[in-house]
Amino acid sequence: MNLADSTPAMNSLLGSEADSQRTLYPYVTGTSVVGIKYKDGILLAADMGGSYGSTLRYKTVERLKPVGKHSIIGASGEISDFQEIMRYLDELILYDNMWDDGNSLGPKEVHNYLTRVMYNRRNKFNPLWNSLVLGGVKNGQKYLGTVNMIGVHYEDNHVATGFGNHLARPILRDEWHENLTFEEGVKLLEKCMRVLLYRDRSAVNKLQIAKITEAGVTISQPYSLKTFWDFSAFKNPTVGAEGSW
Amino acid sequence: MTKQQANWSPYDNNGGTCVAIAGADYCVIAADTRMSTGYSILTRDYSKISQLADKSVMASSGFQADVRALQKVLAARHLIYQHQHNKQMSCPAMAQLLSNTLYYKRFFPYYAFNVLGGLDNEGKGCVFTYDAVGSYERVGYSSQGSGATLITPFLDNQLKSPSPLLLPAKDAVTPLSESEAIDLVKTCFASATERDIYTGDKLEIVILNASGLRREYMELRKD
């Protein structure tokens, strides 16, 4: 029994009229985002799938977006909530620009803002159902952080959301090192994304890689990974147990 | 039509262990730097220790988002105190503030398990230990978090603290030297790391004494 739910404050929030006003469960979702620091900045990777439960409904969802001059955001979870977050961020960057004082929000500041937004929504029992990756470079300082729907946040040299935490982080812990070149970084991310493609049911084989350096943001055109099904176990899957599948 | 039950929890346990030991003229506050969720490690390098005032250091484990929010609230309140009183908050004052802040959210608690360490108004070491809703007491040493059940009995044995029921009250502050206390803390964490999956990676130790604040680190097992 959740004691917190039985207080007078919670009763009105949990009544059925209030239910239509709060996020109860996600509808259209994106899967993992993976991010790494490399020599010149940050690399993020995410596929372009938008799942509607078990249906792969949308196959060209851009889950990586630039934020201002110094940051990129990658989102997994509810796509409509990500679009709402982009509206919040666009407003944030607009007000930042309107000061016209030569100052601009860096990735650390944007990450902190997002953390506060996510935590505050969780406090009101109406979360933005996302796990976000925020990366960027400002004045030579690289920054890579993540925050999820209940406000848990941290920064590290490599981060991932959802399934990426289980499948990609171990690869990154083994093979990431300081001063990866761009080519090495992309190869490492592709290795992670390939494992996710093999093992995550909601992954699709159409992905983008986003790069941010002091010079600016580049988000690649969508492309597919080569997959390898030539393993002998895949060729004769029922050998040793004829009649099974 | 049955009422919709939430299928998400506003809480998570991000693990970790905190310890604090008070000495005659110093205080040692320590916590591991591992942050986990479920059976995954999120990051190996996350500090759970926050300096709230000149002579107050808090270590908190539990739900990381609540811990961070709590640290921010206390930092803001301390800044206001400094503006209003033109001085730093003493450790016992901060202890009361922390208790009140936690109880304020009695019906939607900060899922944070705190130990507050520092120097009292006489320069003696003090440690305050809390539960999630603000009940607290001053003790000679304390441990909170996922490894607390492993560490507390060991500290009871090593520090031979006098019973709090004795009259006249005997001081629970340890007669150990500063370096002996630091070694004890390192031993606690090395042991807890062996058996608690949520404790490990690195140990951060903060030592407060008359000369100020000092930080030490020690590697722990990463499995």
Residue A119: inside a domain: yes
pLDDT of residue B1: 72
Cβ within 8 Å, pair A9-B107: yes
Is A229 domain-assigned? no
Tens digit of pLDDT at every position of chain B (223 positions): 777 677 899 999 999 999 999 999 999 999 999 999 999 999 999 999 999 999 999 999 999 999 999 999 999 999 999 999 999 999 999 999 999 999 999 999 999 999 999 999 999 999 999 999 999 999 999 999 999 999 999 999 999 877 778 888 787 888 899 999 999 999 999 999 999 999 999 999 999 999 999 999 999 999 9
* Within a domain: A91: yes
- Is A201 inside a domain boundary? yes
pLDDT tens-place string over residues A175-191: 999 999 999 999 999 99
| CATH number of the domain encompassing residue B151 | 3.60.20.10
- Interface contact flag, A127 B8, Cβ < 8 Å: yes
Q: Could you tell me if residue A23 is inside a domain?
A: no
> Could you report how far apart the first and last alpha carbons of chain B are, in Å?
48
Average per-residue pLDDT in chain A?
92
Q: Using CB atoms, pick whichever of B4, B65, B109 lies closest to residue A119.
A: B65
The CATH number of the domain holding residue A188 is 3.60.20.10
Number of structural domains (chain B) is 1
**Nearest residue to B57 (alpha-carbon basis) of B133, B107, B114:** B114
Is residue B25 included in any domain, yes or no? yes
| Structural domain includes residue A13 | no
Residues of B in contact with A115 (CB under 8 A): 65, 68
Is A139's pLDDT higher than 70? Answer: yes
Range of the domain at A70: 28-223
Q: Is position B206 within any domain?
A: yes
Whether residue A79 is contained in a domain is answered as yes
CA B73/CA A30 separation, integer angstroms: 34
Residue at A145 is within a domain: yes
Domain limits for position B161: 17-220
Q: Which of B13, B28, B139, B103 is nearest to B65 (CA)?
A: B13
Category of B145 on φ-ψ map: left (φ > 0), alpha (ψ -120 to 50) or beta = left
Rounded Cα–Cα distance for residues B32 and B201 (Å): 7
Residue B10, in any domain of the structure: no
Per DSSP, the three-state class of B136 is: strand
User: Which residues of B are less than 8 Å from A165 in CB distance?
Assistant: 40, 42
Number of independent structural domains in chain A: 1
Split at pLDDT 50, 70, 90, the class of A197 is very high
Give the burial class of A3: count Cβ atoms within 10 A of its Cβ; 0-12 exposed, 13-18 middle, 19 or more buried.
exposed
Mean local confidence (pLDDT), A152-173: 98
CA distance A243 to chain B (A): 36
Whole-number pLDDT of residue A5: 56
Within-domain flag for B6: no
> pTM here?
0.91
B39, closest residue in chain A (CA to CA): A166
- Inside any domain, residue B133: yes
B68 is a domain residue: yes
Interface test with A, best of B67, B107, B201 (most A CBs within 10 A): B107
pLDDT of residue A6: 54
Give the model's pLDDT for residue A17: 57
The answer as to whether B28 is a domain residue is yes
- ipTM value > 0.90: yes
